[in-house]
Amino acid sequence: MKLVAAILSGAVALGLSASALAQSPMVIKFSHVVAESTPKGQGALKFKEVAEKLLPGKVEVQVFPSSQLFGDGKEMEALLLGDVHFIAPSLSKFDRYTKKIQVFDLPFLFQDIAAVDSFQHSADGKALLDSMKNRNLQGLAYWHNGMKQLSTNKDKLQRPEDVKGLKFRIQASDVLEAQFRALGANPQKMAFAEVYQALQTGVVDGQENTWSNIYSQKFHEVQKTIANTNHGVIDYMVVTNAKWWDGLPADVRDGLRKAMDEATAHANKLAAELNDRDRKRIEEAGKAKIQPLTKEDLAAWQKAMGPVWKKFEDGIGADLIQAALKHNK
């Protein structure tokens, strides 16, 4: 009888354990490389909030900001290996998977973030979200950061000749490398988490970034001049592992998509607000000078960077470049 009781007791325990496991929420890891105070950081937190609200008890979203889990050199590999479920890399990081996404790195292609947004909502822009499924990457949304500005540790930053010979940190993008070489500068590919120290120690002389990134990473404290160039865009694509995504239960996938839509609206609204706010904060801090540029100055920058378009036209597609241009007003 004792043996029977023990067997029954064990069976009950196993049943309870299996039941408990069945009721455990699916842990979903969202990793990114920027501060929580940035538009991307806030978007990830909104995704967690809405997903857990829409799918109570079914999912637990864990957000890892500021390269806590994986840096921007490792996050794509981690996603493909299944070690993380959502990442939101800069669009510059996808050129090894499809050359078409290089369209977003072309200098002076988009006149403002409204043009970027319009293109991303078009059929051509939406098609790019699905363009890497053959590489097991499924794009879910575009998140804005903002337009890029140039900064250096020099007192003058008004014309292209002011950056000749300087070392600039860039993202791992062939287009951005070509952009700085066209200016006569020396591009240095470097992880985002390493930039502040590199600027502080003089390993690089300058960088390009949005106002919110410059402020949140304190780049303005280790740079002398920031030129208001708006010469390019830093946006992100939220991507997931395509096989994992397609294998989710339909109700979970639908809930996560709705959460992503809400998080996207939240992040993109914040992007404009935070960039305006952080530009003012940089001005008020008084550590770096903000260099205004005339139309003639901007024309000189455009002319210097112009050859980059032709160099990458074949890979991107002339038709896609023209489609993007139509969204400028």
- Residue ranges per domain, the chain? 22-323
The pLDDT assigned to 16 comes to 44
Q: Please compute the mean of the pLDDT values over residues 81-98 and round it to a whole number.
A: 95
Q: How confident is the model at residue 15 (pLDDT cuts 50, 70, 90)?
A: very low
Domain 22-323 coded CATH 3.30.750.24 = no
**If you ran DSSP here, which 8-state letter would residue 36 be given?**
T
Give the whole-angstrom CA distance, residue 112 versus residue 148: 10
The pLDDT assigned to 177 comes to 97
Question: What six digits make up the tokens of 228?
Answer: 């208001």
**Of 1-5, 108-112, 125-129, 271-275, the least confident:** 1-5
Tell me the pairing of strands 149-152 and 206-209.
antiparallel
Nearest to 88 by CA among 251, 267, 217: 267
Compute CA distances 76 → 46, 142, 230, whole Å.
22, 16, 28
Q: Please compute the mean of the pLDDT values over residues 99-106 and round it to a whole number.
A: 97
